[in-house]
Amino acid sequence: MSDTDIQPFSIDIPQDELNDLRDRLAHTRWPDELPDVDWNYGMPLDYAKEVAEYWQHSYDWREYEEELNALPQFTTQIDGQTIHFVHVRSSEPDALPLLIMHGWPSSIVEFHDIIEPLTDPRSHGGDPADAFHIVAPSLPGFGFSTPVQETGWEIPRTTNAFAELMRRLGYERYGAQGGDIGAGVADRLANINPDHVVGLHANLDPSSFIILGDEIPIDTSGLTDTETDHVEDLQQQYQGEGKGYLQLQSTRPLTLAYSLTDSPVGQLTWIVEKFKEWTNPAAELPDDTVDRDQLLTNVSIYWFTRTGASAARFIYESAHSEADWVASSDVPQGHAVFNADPILRRLLDPDQTIQHWSEFKQGGHFPAMEAPELFVKDVREFFRTLR
């Protein structure tokens, strides 16, 4: 058997792991909490206890493990690293291959509700001509793309690995889609592989201000005073108050890893707090916009695979990478902005040269989970002319 072989994969978490999770949840040492602080200090104690109790007593991992295993999954070795991926081929003969990539703190669970509509539009009220073959990998060090054996796994190396994955699958011409880290990989893939990538589609939201002005320089010289004030407010919200997770993971990931690996409530709150901050603010709680069981399936994958630690290392490696941001390629781009703020286009596309730009009031950082119908519709529309 060659390292380049593609092997079928099925999720099978041992029962001892489920028993251990419930036991740890039952023996959680809870902190105290100041009165009337809401989410300002992080995930509120009462809500954390409620979700943890649901995870312990009501959530059924086996049900969702079975659902995930209904999707064809595989692993292969690329550059010394196990790469896990979902690969669903459409029955439509002219389907376009689409590489779709998640970010942090997400997983392949994010795509649960969109894979069938994208691969089988005929059965979901769509045009069969819009069908895709879907390849949805787990980022190295995330979920079942583990263990990571060495340093250096960040966006450029991941991009090269995913280009090789598509080559091994026999896809010479394909689209790339992603959000968060996945958007960075899609952008770089289009830059290094323009002869194979027909178009890149990225989903954005106001949390993009976490990197705007820091990792990605922005030009505010053409903005009005009111617009400039608005940008400064957003930068304070997302770079000031909302960047603590990034600073910690990009500087001391191992220190954090002990808590994420030893305490399920630590892993739970680390992820769920971001789903509160980054989903649509019209929702009072994260599970008002994302199904609670789907959210807990995402958390459970991090817990059972112990990838809270290696996902944090990915952030560290990216922050310490010597690779520069690549310039935009000539590959057609589509941007879908959820929980839209018009100022994003003024900053990212001031001359309106991006071929496809959509804005939606609904959704947020995880649109495939929050607004799957809108997400699917926009992906179909963007790639329709690129087939």
pLDDT, position 1: 53
Strands 132-137 and 96-101: parallel
| pLDDT, average across residues 256-270 | 98
pLDDT of 40 > 70? The answer is: yes
Cα 116 to Cα 125, 133, 373, 386, distances in angstroms: 11, 10, 11, 21
What tens digit of pLDDT does each residue of 286-321 get?
999 999 999 999 999 999 999 999 999 999 999 999
pTM for the model: 0.96
Q: What angle do CA 268, 274, 280 make, to 5 degrees?
A: 130
Query: 229 or 47: which carries more pLDDT confidence?
Result: 47
Query: 347-383 burial by CB neighbour count: b if 16+ within 10 A, else e?
Result: bbeeeeeeebbbebebbbbbbbbbbbebbbbbbbebb
Q: Where do the domains of the chain lie, and which CATH numbers do they carry?
A: 7-384 (3.40.50.1820)
| pLDDT, average across residues 188-207 | 96
pLDDT of 153 > 80? The answer is: yes
Query: 78-92 burial by CB neighbour count: b if 16+ within 10 A, else e?
Result: beebbbbbbbbebeb
pLDDT, position 293: 98
Q: Which of 239-253, 255-269, 314-328, 349-363 is predicted least confidently?
A: 314-328
DSSP 142: S
Cα 214 to Cα 60, 220, 235, 383, distances in angstroms: 41, 13, 10, 31
Task: Tell me the C-alpha distance between 193 and 99, whole Å.
Answer: 13
In the predicted model, what is the mean pLDDT of the chain? 94
Percent of the chain at pLDDT > 90 equals 84
Percent of the chain at pLDDT > 70 equals 97
CB within 8 A of 262, min separation 6: which ones? none
What tens digit of pLDDT does each residue of 77-130 get?
999 999 999 999 999 999 999 999 999 999 999 999 999 999 999 999 999 999
pLDDT, position 35: 95
What tens digit of pLDDT does each residue of 326-340 get?
667 899 999 999 999
Cα 249 to Cα 86, 105, 324, distances in angstroms: 27, 12, 20
CA nearest to 365, candidates 335, 334, 339, 343: 339
Say how many Å lie between the first and final Cα of the chain, rounded: 36
**Cβ count near 278 (within 10 Å):** 22
Question: Is residue 338 a contact partner of residue 280, using CB atoms and an 8 Å limit?
Answer: yes
**Cis omega before residue 117 (within 30°)?**
no
Q: What is the largest CA-CA distance in the chain?
A: 63
Query: 227-237 burial by CB neighbour count: b if 16+ within 10 A, else e?
Result: eeebbeebbeb
pLDDT, position 167: 98
